Structure 1
Amino acid sequence: MALRAAARKDSNTRDSLVKDSVAKANAKPARKPKPATRDCVLDFADSPPETRLLYSRMNDSISNTFIGGGFVGRCQGENNRLRADSAEQFQQAGIVNLYGNVTYEEPGKMQVAAAHATYFTREGRLYADGNVVATQLSTGSTFMGPSIEYYRSTPERPIARMVAPSRSTARLIEKDSLGRPGPPVTVIANRFEDTGDSLLMAWGDVVIERQQINGRSDSSAFDKITQRARLVRGARITNTDSAQRFVLNADTIDLFSTERKLDRVFASHKATATNDQLVLTSEWIDLRLKEQQLDEAFAFGPGRSRATTPQQDVDADSLRIRLAARRVREVRAVGDARAVGTPDTTKIRTPDKDVLSGDSVFAFFDSTATADTAKGPRIREIRALGNASSLFHIANSRGRASPPGINYVRGVRIFVNFDTGAVRDVRVDSAASGVYLEPVLDSLSDTTARRDGAARSRPRSGSPPPPSTGGAPARRPPSVPPPFERPAREPVGAGTVSTLSAYRRRP
């Protein structure tokens, strides 16, 4: 019996716990109390002497007030000031309408000038329209547009907020650590939202004009505390400096500044950077600036990265480009790297390319001022490190019109030096092997020469044919060249040389 009573007690306890949990789950959450609001007691003691007043009492607690001839006032207990040519207050609705030369001001925070405005006293919200100019007094930044909505800070809303719902122009002033204002940044967008004078958001056909830098995107964000800006969707950055122009395109572009000076630009998702000497494409591109000038560029991420210069195309898993005096100095490619170049067109005529590949490829350019500025810096040296191979064309001693020779080598490391854009020497370090192929006489030209020789030796019309001696044919005179024989095809790299039928091994 005792066991039965204990089991019944445990069952009742479990049932009560289940009922309590179900009741708590079905219980409606307690509603938060609405923030306390109070009506605005309008104080217009600072209005000019010619001010006219019409006071209309609706009942014991509601009244309307109409003011003309100039109005200066504020809500008692609020640190703000309203100015206008005329005003009207509807106490029950909590609205103050302002007309003509309207100015709303919070000392040290915000000043709004417009043709018309409505102040919602219970919300602490100002809606201004008609040639609106809003100035953030702490920084001097301004917003200009057809309409602007401002939410002042209150105990329920500690951070002020400003919204420009129509296409407007923002002129941002950034100050350095000493409080000195820098060059302004102009931003144009279909909609703005500024939070606490620290975070600015812009949407719709955003246009950014900064010192030597212009930008465009679908939307953007500016963090004034961390000095970071982000451009999203169809982002584009253009450097307007005539000495070093470049254009950066990507889906997203981040800009980083230190002491209000731009020092880094990071582009992600199908990024492309272009200037007069270089075209860089990659999933991610990281540009580093020094004294507002491009100093280094990094390309990496999923897929291949490619750098194209007037003389060399380099692609690899990742790239690093260094510049000196605004000119390309080094291109470092890491991860299944390959450099493809055009042979010297003044000495060689061929549709094929020179190819150098390896685990890593380093290209060094002549960045001195004496280099040809029209074609960019000339290639000075290329190094292939790890599983290296190279195929280069060598100028024919018979001139540019004759086919060039082909030098194909493999090794652990390969060093190629250039002289005025042409290959000067190729050095292979460790496990060297390869082949040199030189061109032979064109078979078509040789056949034509034999046909012309046969025509000259043919007897004239009316002459008796030469007597037949019978037996074996006469041997060819030594002066007649032997028939051309095509050598066997040499394996020099798939997809690099279209045909090698006109080449033979050098003995």
Structure 2
Amino acid sequence: MRAITLLGTVSLLAIFGGCRGARRGATSVTPVATVAAPELARVPGADSVRADSMAGRAKAAGKDSAVQPDSNTRPDSTARPDSAALGKARRDSVAAARKRPATKAASSATTRNCVLDFADSPPETRLFYTRLPDSTANTFIGGGFVGRCQGENNRISADSLEQFESAGIVNLYGNVVYEEPNKLRITAAHGTYLTREGRLLADGGVVATQPASGSTFSGPNIEYYRVMPGRPVSKLVAPNRPTAQLIEKDSTGKPGQPTIVTADRFEDLGDTLVLGWGDVIITREQIIGRSDSLAFNKTTQLARLVRAARIRSVDTSRAFTLNGDTIDLFTTDKKLVRVLALHSATATAKDLVINAERIDLRLKEQKIDEAYAFGKGRARAKTPQQDVEADSMRIVLTDQRPREVRAIGGAEAKGVADTLKIKSADRDMLRGDSLFAYFDTAQLATDTSKQARIKEIRAFGNASSLFQIASKQGPTARPSLNYVRGQRIFVQFDTGSVRDVRVDSSASGLYLEPAADSLSDSTVQKTPAKKPPLAPVAPLPQPPAPIVAPLSAAVFTISRRPT
């Protein structure tokens, strides 16, 4: 009889224990195709475990009468001796939870599941739906899918789809398109959308287009992070050597010429800031730039090339090159108007090379109009006829050839003498606190093949000059030296050679002529030259014998030469 009573008790405990607790309602989904009914059945795994444990305790109570059955099975039963400890533990856990920082609410707000809304899918769409014990589901859609996640401002389409709701993963296959109206459109062969992270992983011929500007990113794969709580701006990441085509619109909304950028990796933040890393190559109209990394602000139209930066113009009529550790490019109305090179910069144009810590180029119609050289150390400008060095410089150009050079701070100019009149390795020199050099650009208008010739140099403040004066004996003769100093010196040139030197205020100087050749000095004893040996002379023929007359017939007259 006792065995029967215990068996009945165990059965009741199993029945009531297995039915305890309310079931969570299933998420309502509009099916497009027939769903298998057995797959929707819920398996109450947690309730079964509770029933088994209660049945075991009841069986133990039958064996030992000292053990009371669980009070949950009898409403009028008294609490067990350890119920007070259990209640205290629960109160302690509640108190500890209240002291914990409230991070769950924020986390739940950013990690909600994606509820698919595929009302716009075509009629041939097929659906297979599986309900899991944790009230989530796995969904498989074929025959074309067009829809979105409820509560998100996006639109997703693909040939087929599979969703794993518990993991927050949506896999897209074939002709994948992800859109956010007026913000972004991504096309790819395959995609994975992580709903809890708001993150799309697209691969296979990916093209991301920003409709507002028309800019595109294309590459083998792209990651996109949409705007969500905790992420105020979107982010697009393109690794594996993608190509970006950046288009800017003017104030009238007309798009300008695209700028093509290639790099190992790109990041676009909020369709405002573009970052690139690894062998960056930029092509903008007739200008090509290279660097290790790039930052471009679409709002301010400022681009920065960092590390081993270099830009050059491929237009032969406007050729120039600029090198530096960092180069900033400034754009106004979609046209490049200023280029700033930082840290050991070098600029090269027609008949001009500039070296300085910083070089600032101002452009008009893609041509250098002005150049500023300054910064730590000395600035140097080199032309075919003059080398100028100073603390800072301002250079004005015409058709990218120097027209005027202004050197400030310990300025010094060194020039090459006219090689047609003087054969000398020495250089002419002019110093001053500041130097102004002017070049003849009028003759360049008719003959662009000629080099810009120096016309005048003016030195101000503690000025001094040393020039070579051609000798009248010809270019091979040693030149004379003209050294002058004063507060201001004005030097006029004619076809590249010094024509006139004028000194203003506190003038003094020297004019030195070359000394005579020491080899021609008369005080030096000369060694007589050896005469060549005389040739042998043939003996003269013997005169004929005299005729002797008799003494009686000879008459002599002897006279002495007066002494």
TM-score, normalisation: structure 2: 0.74
Any idea what the Cα deviations from partners look like across 1:408-442, whole Å, max 9, x if unmatched? 11111110000111111111111111111122443
Q: Which residue of 2 aligns with 1:424?
A: 499
Superposed displacement of residue 241, structure 1: 2.3
Separation of aligned partners in 2, 1:373 and 1:400: 29
Maintained 8 Å contact 2:483/2:511? yes
State whether structure 2 residue 386 is matched by structure 1 residue 386: no
Maintained 8 Å contact 1:84/1:98? yes
More displaced stretch, 182-191 vs 320-329: 320-329
Separation of aligned partners in 1, 2:100 and 2:474: 92
Of 371, 377, 383, 1:297 maps to 371
Separation of aligned partners in 2, 1:320 and 1:174: 32
Separation of aligned partners in 2, 1:384 and 1:428: 10
Q: Which residue of 2 aligns with 1:280?
A: 354
Higher helix share: 2
Superposed displacement of residue 177, structure 1: 0.9
Q: CA 1:324/1:460 → structure 2, altered by over 3 Å: closer, same or farther? A: closer
Q: Which residue of 2 aligns with 1:403?
A: 478
Maintained 8 Å contact 2:356/2:380? yes
For structure 1, the residue ranges without an aligned partner over 5 or more in a row are: 1-27, 463-507
Any idea what the Cα deviations from partners look like across 1:144-168, whole Å, max 9, x if unmatched? 1111111111233231111112211
Maintained 8 Å contact 1:169/1:188? yes
Aligned 1:347-366 pairs, distance under 5 A: 347-366=421-440
Separation of aligned partners in 2, 1:82 and 1:99: 11
State whether structure 2 residue 419 is matched by structure 1 residue 341: no
- Aligned partner letter, 1:289: L
Maintained 8 Å contact 2:207/2:216? yes
Q: CA 1:336/1:29 → structure 2, altered by over 3 Å: closer, same or farther? A: farther
State whether structure 2 residue 290 is matched by structure 1 residue 216: yes
Q: Which residue of 2 aligns with 1:25?
A: none
Of 284, 290, 313, 1:239 maps to 313
Maintained 8 Å contact 1:372/1:378? no
Maintained 8 Å contact 1:371/1:378? no
Of 191, 202, 210, 1:128 maps to 202
Any idea what the Cα deviations from partners look like across 1:35-82, whole Å, max 9, x if unmatched? 313211111122222222211222361111111121112111222111
Separation of aligned partners in 2, 1:435 and 1:156: 79
State whether structure 2 residue 512 is matched by structure 1 residue 437: yes
State whether structure 2 residue 167 is matched by structure 1 residue 93: yes
1:59 match: secondary structure? coil
Q: Which residue of 2 aligns with 1:465?
A: none
Maintained 8 Å contact 1:162/1:194? yes
1:243 match: secondary structure? helix
Q: CA 1:370/1:224 → structure 2, altered by over 3 Å: closer, same or farther? A: closer
State whether structure 2 residue 347 is matched by structure 1 residue 258: no
Structure index of larger Rg = 2
Separation of aligned partners in 2, 1:392 and 1:31: 84
Q: Root-mean-square deviation (CA), in Å?
A: 2.0
More displaced stretch, 53-62 vs 65-74: 53-62
Maintained 8 Å contact 1:371/1:377? no
For structure 2, the residue ranges without an aligned partner over 5 or more in a row are: 1-98, 535-563
Paired residues in the alignment total 432
Any idea what the Cα deviations from partners look like across 1:312-343, whole Å, max 9, x if unmatched? 00000001100123321001101000000100
Separation of aligned partners in 1, 2:493 and 2:326: 39
Q: CA 1:381/1:57 → structure 2, altered by over 3 Å: closer, same or farther? A: same
State whether structure 2 residue 286 is matched by structure 1 residue 195: no
Q: CA 1:449/1:98 → structure 2, altered by over 3 Å: closer, same or farther? A: farther
Q: Which residue of 1 aligns with 2:142?
A: 68
- Aligned partner letter, 1:150: Y
1:225 match: secondary structure? coil
- Aligned partner letter, 2:328: D
Of 291, 315, 320, 2:394 maps to 320
Q: CA 1:73/1:361 → structure 2, altered by over 3 Å: closer, same or farther? A: same
Separation of aligned partners in 2, 1:147 and 1:184: 22
- Aligned partner letter, 1:153: V
State whether structure 2 residue 93 is matched by structure 1 residue 38: no
Q: CA 1:44/1:29 → structure 2, altered by over 3 Å: closer, same or farther? A: closer
Among the aligned pairs, what percent are the same residue? 64
Separation of aligned partners in 2, 1:42 and 1:188: 37
Separation of aligned partners in 1, 2:255 and 2:233: 24
Of 162, 178, 186, 2:252 maps to 178
Superposed displacement of residue 367, structure 1: 1.2
Higher strand share: 1
Q: CA 1:49/1:444 → structure 2, altered by over 3 Å: closer, same or farther? A: farther
TM-score, normalisation: structure 1: 0.82
Q: Which residue of 1 aligns with 2:65?
A: none
Separation of aligned partners in 2, 1:460 and 1:236: 74
Separation of aligned partners in 1, 2:144 and 2:522: 106
Q: Which residue of 1 aligns with 2:32?
A: none
Q: CA 1:61/1:445 → structure 2, altered by over 3 Å: closer, same or farther? A: farther
Q: Which residue of 1 aligns with 2:544?
A: none
Q: Which residue of 1 aligns with 2:488?
A: 413
Any idea what the Cα deviations from partners look like across 1:168-221, whole Å, max 9, x if unmatched? 110000011111100000111111111110011111111111122111111110
Superposed displacement of residue 352, structure 1: 0.3
Q: Which residue of 2 aligns with 1:144?
A: 218
